[in-house]
């Protein structure tokens, strides 16, 4: 519930379950943190709105939809069978009708979609969804009861949402999921080919240290051959003996 006269929510909106009672996985919880931060000014139970979250970076529909559903179920009076989170597409008209009927909803604009002027006019606000941060990773690790360390934080920040979603399934213990991500990362590094030079280094006469007489003869021969090609001297004058 709001904690002051302005109807604002507490500083953190850490939900532990989805609307259907399922637990938030690590990636869903991280996405939830970003959505909660972006929509904080709209987190009031008495205020209905249709909002668009514009995503320019990495995006996973399954993760972000689940995270947004968890968020809106905490600020709006929703029913389990109602849908309030949508994704903009050329076929979004039914979703717009549903959101307009409920007078509330959250639309995602995925990276592959360009918002039209009508989409922007339909939305009460278009908010840029910020990328995940180390703070989101730390919160998700603590929420899942996992150890917090710099290596794990970096792993959760660097891996794609799709990769994390594939590993952190609700049926799987988060520690097991984290281990799978680590092993997959390590295996990928081992399979990467070692870069090699396509051509061996080119050696010249000057690289032949310790063979000064042969080097001097080589330079002389090269000079004579160049003169012969230029028709300056005849072939018989070329010195071919060292």
Average pLDDT over residues 37-58: 87
| Residue 2, pLDDT score | 37
Question: What DSSP line would sit under 2-48, residue for residue?
Answer: --STT-PPPS-----B-TTSPBPPHHHHHHHHHHHHHTGGG--TT--
| Residue 236, pLDDT score | 67
**pLDDT single digits (tens) 60-87:** 999 999 999 999 888 877 665 578 999 9
| Residue 8, pLDDT score | 42
Residue listed under structure tokens 């799978």: 180
User: Which three-class secondary structure state does DSSP give residue 137?
Assistant: helix
Cα distances from 221 to residues 9, 187, 213, 240, in angstroms, run 88, 55, 12, 7
Helix 26-38 vs helix 134-144: crossing angle, to nearest 10: 130
Percent of the chain that is helix, strand, coil (3-state, to 5): 50, 10, 45
> Does the pLDDT of residue 151 top 80, yes or no?
yes
DSSP 8-state secondary structure symbol assigned to residue 123: S
**pLDDT single digits (tens) 111-125:** 999 999 999 999 999
The model carries a pTM of: 0.70
Helix 134-144 vs helix 150-158: crossing angle, to nearest 10: 110
Per-residue pLDDT band for 10 (boundaries 50, 70, 90) equals very low
| Residue 207, pLDDT score | 62
The C-alpha atoms of residue 174 and residue 165 are separated, in whole angstroms, by 11
| Residue 223, pLDDT score | 76
| Residue 119, pLDDT score | 97
């Amino acid at each position: 519930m709001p904690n002051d006269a302005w109807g604002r929510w507490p500083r953190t909106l850490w939900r532990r379950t989805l609307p259907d009672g399922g637990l938030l996985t690590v990636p869903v919880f991280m996405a939830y943190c970003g959505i909660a931060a972006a929509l904080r000014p709209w987190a009031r139970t008495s205020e209905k709105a249709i909002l668009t979250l514009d995503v320019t970076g990495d995006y996973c529909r399954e993760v972000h939809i689940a995270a947004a559903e968890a968020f809106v179920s905490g600020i709006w009076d929703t029913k389990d069978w109602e849908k309030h989170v949508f994704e903009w597409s050329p076929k979004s008209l039914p979703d717009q009708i549903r959101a307009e009927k409920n007078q509330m909803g959250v639309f995602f604009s995925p990276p592959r979609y360009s918002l039209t002027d009508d989409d922007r006019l339909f939305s009460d606000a278009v908010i840029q969804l910020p990328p995940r941060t180390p703070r989101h990773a730390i919160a998700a690790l603590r929420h899942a009861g996992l150890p917090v360390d710099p290596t794990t934080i970096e792993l959760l920040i660097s891996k794609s949402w799709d990769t994390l979603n594939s590993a952190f399934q609700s049926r799987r213990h988060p520690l097991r999921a984290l281990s799978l991500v680590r092993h997959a990362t390590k295996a990928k590094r081992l399979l990467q080919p070692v870069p090699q030079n396509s051509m061996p280094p080119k050696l010249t006469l000057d690289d032949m240290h310790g063979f000064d007489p042969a080097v001097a003869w080589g330079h002389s021969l090269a000079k004579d051959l160049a003169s012969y090609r230029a028709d300056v001297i005849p072939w018989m004058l070329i010195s071919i003996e060292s």
